[in-house]
A = this chain, B = another copy of it.
Amino acid sequence: MKHESVGDDTPLSSLGERGVIEKARRQAGRPRAPLLLGIGDDAALVHVPAGKLLTLTCDMLVEGVHFRRDWSTARQIGGKAAAVNLSDIAAMGGEPAVALVSLAAPGEIPARFIDDFFAGLTAELSDHGCQLAGGDTVASPGPVVVDVTIAGFQEKAVRRRGARPGDVLMLTGPVGGAAAGLALLEAGARFPGADTTERALIEAQLSPHPRVREGRALVRFAHAMTDLSDGLGTALGLLTEPGGLGARLDREQIPVAAGLAQVAGRFGLDPVHLMVDGGEEYELLAAVAPGRVPSLMRSFSRLGHSLYPVGQVTASPGLFWREGEREAAIERASFEHFRLGGEL
């Protein structure tokens, strides 16, 4: 192979499929247990720990819809492609093990994009004990498209359904950051951003942190769980509506990303809209029996993880806030990819 010698500016069209595979293989490193056979055969082979279930998820990111190459570095794009999938495993309480990635990209994309993309992808996977096990690459006339699949293992799983009236709703971190970061990016701000607060908001949008460790800790406690990938409002709906239930949140208990109010004020946005409807957030929302909350909080405190009780599951449908003495319905704007018509 002479692909070692290609320069950073070599376009994909000259690098060839084998060159891309070689780059992926180098970043993936040597297979280690439970991966028996990684990149370079017709399929990957994985040893499954006895007594464990297999968890499978995939998420596709499309340039111009989920990311922009003038907003994110290739490393950030690779990292986010891993993170959004790791978050789905986290939301089941699973343990990520191996990943596959398919990449469609125009032939004129330079080799360094591929290097940086795989570096970001494998670093994020590796942070959560997950290895790159295989994938596919293809030259495309269209935008860059990345599809990641993650396979995890777990003994016990938490589904979206299963919340019971009276359960306490627990949230692993602040909301609204990714939406505020998007507002900043749309207004022309760029990573790393003008100040620390802006930077953190933009990073929330471009480089989310999946709550894999938190999910694995919550699996022993939660009746139901999901992530906030389509926003807090959608997550509340997913945990309650299929069972004919509802939720009442305590507005003052909800952790909010630092700087959200300022961004909302600056751009004339409703801070509640940013908190409730902002997607691309990867905190977990779980429903936990009230009697188990103290031991759960102790467990999280020991592990150094954050966890916030933000409200209760109600027997009657509807999503409400409590703010001091007042109570009001939570108004949700729906977030659906096809309704966005390809807009970021």
A227 to B40, CA, bound (A): 13
Known: A17-B338, A107-B341. A138 touches B58 (CB 8 A): no
A303 within 8 A of B: no
**A98-106, A177-185, A246-254, A312-320 - the one binding chain B:** A98-106
A56 within 8 A of B: yes
Assess whether B147 is in contact with A136, with CB atoms less than 8 Å apart.
Answer: yes
Assess whether A338 is in contact with B142, with CB atoms less than 8 Å apart.
Answer: no
Known: A37-B157, A43-B88. A60 touches B147 (CB 8 A): yes
Q: How often does this chain occur in the complex, in copies?
A: 2
Shortest CB-to-CB span from A141 to chain B, Å, is 5
A56 partner residues in chain B, CB cutoff 8 A: 43-46, 98, 100, 133-134, 149, 151
A127 to B47, CA, bound (A): 26
Which residue on chain B has the smallest CB distance to residue A141?
B342
Shortest CB-to-CB span from A131 to chain B, Å, is 11
Which residue on chain B has the smallest CB distance to residue A143?
B142
Assess whether A57 is in contact with B142, with CB atoms less than 8 Å apart.
Answer: no
A92 partner residues in chain B, CB cutoff 8 A: 41-43, 45
A212 to B140, CA, bound (A): 29
Assess whether B50 is in contact with A338, with CB atoms less than 8 Å apart.
Answer: no
Partner of A53, one of B14, B48, B107, B136: B48
A58 to B138, CA, bound (A): 12
Assess whether B43 is in contact with A53, with CB atoms less than 8 Å apart.
Answer: no
Interface residues of A in 30-55 (CB under 8 A from B): 36-37, 40-48, 50, 52-55
A100 to B99, CA, bound (A): 13
A192 partner residues in chain B, CB cutoff 8 A: none
A57 partner residues in chain B, CB cutoff 8 A: 42-44, 100, 134
A41 to B226, CA, bound (A): 8
A73 within 8 A of B: no
A227 to B47, CA, bound (A): 23
Assess whether A42 is in contact with B160, with CB atoms less than 8 Å apart.
Answer: yes
A72 within 8 A of B: no
A94 within 8 A of B: yes
Which residue on chain B has the smallest CB distance to residue A229?
B42
A139 within 8 A of B: yes
Closest 8 CB pairs of A and B: A142-B142, A42-B91, A43-B57, A60-B102, A147-B147, A46-B54, A149-B149, A17-B336
A41-B159, A46-B54, A46-B56 known; 20 new pairs, CB 8 Å cut-off, are A17-B336, A17-B338, A41-B92, A42-B57, A45-B56, A47-B53, A48-B48, A48-B53, A54-B54, A58-B147, A62-B141, A64-B140, A65-B139, A102-B147, A104-B145, A140-B143, A141-B142, A141-B143, A142-B143, A151-B151
